[in-house]
Amino acid sequence: SQTIHQWPATLVQPVGSPLSLECTVEGTSNPNLYWYRQAAGRGLQLLFYSVGIGQISSEVPQNLSASRPQDRQFILSSKKLLLSDSGFYLCAWSRRGSNQPQHFGDGTRLSIL
Amino acid sequence: AQKVTQAQTEISVVEKEDVTLDCVYETRDTTYYLFWYKQPPSGELVFLIRRNSFDEQNEISGRYSWNFQKSTSSFNFTITASQVVDSAVYFCALSEERAAFGSGTQLTVLP
């Protein structure tokens, strides 16, 4: 069966510090991968989307970046965090095809001080 | 562009009441898929159901039922005899590979 691991679960970082959140998927190959942010409420904001190694689509301009160094690894990074980067970050994967549901990790709660 | 609207921001019901969560979508595609996800307080989103645009049959799974109506572009979700464990944020989504999510409905079921 497929599993998705996302870590860390919680993170407290000072403004201006770097960020690296990691997400890995097991039990499937060539998945679509996604990073979402959910800020202080409910809406899910799609940040990045990847259909393959090195292929990243950015949905919103920001000081975050994403990389996919391996097929089942998706990393969310920042060189300098802002207060506005606080939120709940979710990684998700899906099989190819528009009929496929997304499967989410447990999320990372990021607080910027 | 695809768009999903969940007009109900928050709903509170008392246990054992029935509750319906509304979802209205917009798309130009003739073939599309609709999804519902549940996000309990622990945070992870859980996939509940998928519907394709060619299948308008209502679906029932235990206390959950879904009413898909293409004529009104709606895909509503009903929980019958709600329970406290149903308290969560519920998201409706419309597919492309990236999916368009609604803003979610916070359901609180009071004991």
Q: Which of A43, A88, A99 sits opposite B33 (nearest CB)?
A: A99
Residues in contact with B101: Cβ distance below 8 Å, sequence separation at least 6, in sequence order: A43, A44, A46, B4, B37, B91, B92, B93
What's the confidence (pLDDT) of residue A61?
67
**pLDDT of B34 higher than 90:** yes
Yes or no, beta carbons of A46 and B103 under 8 Å apart = no
Q: Distance (Å, rounded) from C-alpha A100 to C-alpha B95? A: 8
Q: The tokens of A66 are what? A: 């994403």
- Give the pLDDT score at B58: 85
Residues of A in Cβ contact (< 8 Å) with B42 = 106
Alpha-carbon dihedral sign for residues A42, A43, A48, A52: positive
| Best mutation target, B3, B33, B45, to test chain A (most A CBs within 10 A) | B45
Asked if the C-beta of B53 comes within 8 angstroms of chain A's C-beta atoms, the answer is: no
The pLDDT, as a whole number, for residue B26 is 94
Whole-number Å distance between alpha carbons of B3 and B99: 9
> What stretches of B53-104 adopt beta strand conformation (E)?
59-61, 64-69, 74-79, 88-94, 100-101
Selecting from A42, A94, A102 the residue whose C-beta is nearest the C-beta of B103 gives: A42
- Residue A3 is predicted with a pLDDT of 93
Does B44 touch chain A if contact means CB atoms closer than 8 Å?
yes
**pLDDT tens figures, B88-109:** 999 999 986 678 899 999 999 9
Using CA atoms, how far apart are residues B101 and B85, in angstroms rounded to an integer? Answer: 23
Average pLDDT over residues A46-54: 93
Reduced to 3 states (helix: H, G, I; strand: E, B; else coil), residue B63 is coil
| Percent of chain A whose predicted confidence (pLDDT) is above 90 | 81
The lowest-confidence range among A22-31, A35-44, A89-98 is A35-44
| Cβ pairs A/B, distance under 8 A | 64
Per-residue pLDDT, B24: 97
Of all residues in chain A, what percent carry a pLDDT higher than 70? 97
Q: What is the pLDDT of residue B1?
A: 74
Give the pLDDT confidence score for residue A39 in this predicted structure.
77
Q: What is the 3-state secondary structure (H, E, C) of A47-73?
A: EEEEEECCEEEECCCCCEEEEEEECCE
- The owner of tokens 């609180």 is B108
CB contact under 8 A, A44 and B98: no
| Residue A111 backbone dihedrals phi, psi, to 5 degrees | -115, 130
pLDDT confidence of residue A6: 96
Q: What was the pLDDT predicted at A52? A: 93
Mean pLDDT of chain B: 93
For B38-66, what is each residue's pLDDT tens digit? 999 988 999 999 999 988 888 888 999 99
Comparing CA positions, the residue from A111, A84, A112 lying closest to residue A9 is: A111
What is the predicted pLDDT for the residue at B63? Answer: 95
| Tokens describing residue B81 | 């005899």
Mean pLDDT of chain A: 92
Q: How far is A7 from chain B (nearest CA, A)?
A: 13
| Separation of alpha carbons A83 and A13, rounded Å | 10
> Are residues A79 and A17 in contact, defined by beta-carbon separation less than 8 angstroms?
no
Please state whether beta strands A108-112 and B33-39 pair in parallel, antiparallel, or not at all (unpaired): unpaired
Per-residue model confidence (pLDDT) at position A70:
95
